[in-house]
Amino acid sequence: VLASGSQVLLNLGGSVELQVEQGALDALIENGGAIMADGGSILLTAEAVGDLSGSVINNQGIIEAQTLATGEKGEIILKGGMENNSIRVGGRLDASAPQGGDGGFIETSAAHVLFDDRLVVTTLAPLGKVGTWLIDPDFIHIIAGSGGSVSGLPSTGLSEIGVNTLNTALTSSNVDLQANQEIDFQVAFNYTGTRDAVLGLYAPVIKLGADISSATNKLGLNFGGTYSSTDYAGSVYVFNGNRVISTKGGDVYFNGNIGGGLGVNGNLSGPYNLTVNTSGGSITHASAVNGTFDVINDYTGPIDVGFSSHPKEMIVLDFVNGVVTRDGSPTSITSGIMPRGVVSFVAGTEILLNAKGPNAQVTFTKPDNSTVTLTANPGGHIVVPVGGLECIKIEYEVQSASGVSVPSGNVTYGVVENAGKINNYIANAGAGSVTLNSGASIAVDGNIEIATALFDNNAGSSALVPGTSKYWRVWSSNADPFDVTTGDNAGGLTPNFKQYNATYGSSTVLGTGNGLLYTFAPQVTISLINTISKTYNGNTNATNLLSSNYTVSSGFGGDTVSLAGTLPSSGTYASKNVNTGIGVTATGLSTSN
């Protein structure tokens, strides 16, 4: 282990703790061999201080903190600061439990985390519960391939983890992705591991630009929830097409909202459909689904941000927070839309700033927090140099009242917009349950279809709200849906029709509008009651049955069953002999009765 810095703390007690507490310019912890503390904790931290500082943790060796046979779990933490600090993670991180007990905990956290494509992470526990690997930047993009890197800065293109790296990690550990802003599935993720795994997605927004599926074993998914005492909404944004989540028996938990409608600029093609197939796993909604949350959508085109200013004021365009300040005070946007996230300019693009000051210098802050200073032309404008320019902030002195404009359209930027309702929502749990918690009503622009072995609606009579002239339908395969203990909870939903002996995916829908459809096929019993009599004539014919001689057993689930139409007026005595209490049988009844 190599460590450098002006102040270094090394603790080799029950745990292995190596901290670079102060680095005048740079701090470095590098491991190319093996660090072991089975049953204990391994903490490697390098958090540099000062404006020019930067810290690096580089692991290419083995770090092992396995669970002891007596049950003490291991913990591995590689942690840099969230400013200019970075971690390169390779080699093997092992907090497994091969001798029994539960797997441990692994955390990799810094402003910038780079994953080697040969990285091995394991918290496997053959005789206990598998542990967890935590990755926690601000933004995470799920990208194609292996490796990737994670940065604490928004939308940098560096906040990335490859689907192959994520898949490999899940084969030997549960994985929690924790982001302060968003998690973005830019490509499809298909789990192919040989064990049941759980992927936790903890962020205010999870963007589904592609499908999530499992080809082999159960893949549990948590969209938001409480993590380390912080509640992450986990609202799901469906964009760039209809999306499917398939978990092969894994449970799906939606802590927050779901949306996928049109953007305010009108150049998104939603609303889109969302289908969730769990093949026996449960589906739970903890909050209302109606698309009323904000997301950052990416656009390419011109920029025109209008605001008032006075000569010689210092202007700061803060794209991370969407704020313009004049001499340190926020000012309102009078026209146009303020870009959010990273703004990318193509080389040769002219940015109309009307800059002034010493040498008319304009400072651009890049996504990695480094800066580049360019000199404006005589008109106070900037021409983007070769290679283009990405920035999250622009600072300059203005020479007269003016906004910011890029009329050429050679710029990519984000805009905060309301997610909007999705179109159709299909929740197919198969033999699993679908639960709507209190307040978790579902409102969409299209239809709602739910297929489940146990429907538990705690959101009330308005739990399912389809679009205009659309419908909701709940298909239940519960063996006894009206049992007070094991039956469904319709929660006061009022259907336009009920249908029995109906199987999702194969039965023809017989009603219209909103419906409750059951695999359960109830049986009703029609009986003859009261008495009839005749004069003995040597035969068993009963020819004077009346409607008052017929009765039918009660229905199920609040259904009212009655006899209708023309009922048979004749039947057969059980005996032709003279007697009392002789049974009478009627035939010719049909379902139309």
DSSP state of 467: -
Model pLDDT, residue 457: 98
Residues of the chain with pLDDT under 50: 1-29, 48-55, 84, 147, 149-157, 264-267
SS3 category, 232: strand
| Residue 292: per-residue pLDDT | 95
User: What's the pLDDT at 165?
Assistant: 86
CA–CA gap between residue 585 and residue 466 (Å, rounded) = 48
Q: Residue 296 has what pLDDT?
A: 86
pTM of the predicted protein model: 0.82
DSSP string computed for 118-178: T-EEE---TTS---EEEE--SEEEEESSS-EEEESSTT-S-SEEEHHHHHHHHTTSEEEEE
Phi, psi of 543 (to 5 degrees): -115, 5
**What is the spatial distance between Cα 65 and Cα 36, in angstroms, rounded to a whole number?**
6
Residue type, 266: G
Give Cβ neighbours of residue 37 (< 8 Å, ≥ 6 apart).
14, 15, 16, 64, 65, 74
What residue type is 275 in one-letter code? T
pLDDT of amino acid 421: 95
Per-residue confidence (pLDDT) for residue 26, from 0 to 100? 46
| Per-residue pLDDT tens digits for 337-379 | 899 888 999 999 999 988 886 668 999 998 777 889 999 988 8
Residue 83 CA, chain-centre distance (Å), reads: 28
Is 349 in contact with 383 (CB distance < 8 Å)? Answer: yes
- CB within 8 A of 271, min separation 6: which ones? 260, 261, 262, 420, 421, 422, 423, 444, 445, 446
3-state SS track over 355-373: ECCHHHEEEEECCCCCEEE
- Given this model, what pLDDT does residue 51 score? 36
Please state, in angstroms and rounded to a whole number, the distance separating the CA atoms of residues 9 and 152: 26
Q: How far apart are CA 11 and CA 19, in angstroms?
A: 9
Q: Distance of alpha carbon 74 from its chain centroid, rounded?
A: 29
Q: What is the pLDDT of residue 156?
A: 42
What does the alpha-carbon distance between residue 208 and residue 188 come to, in Å, rounded to a whole number? 9
Residue 193 structure tokens:
């591991």
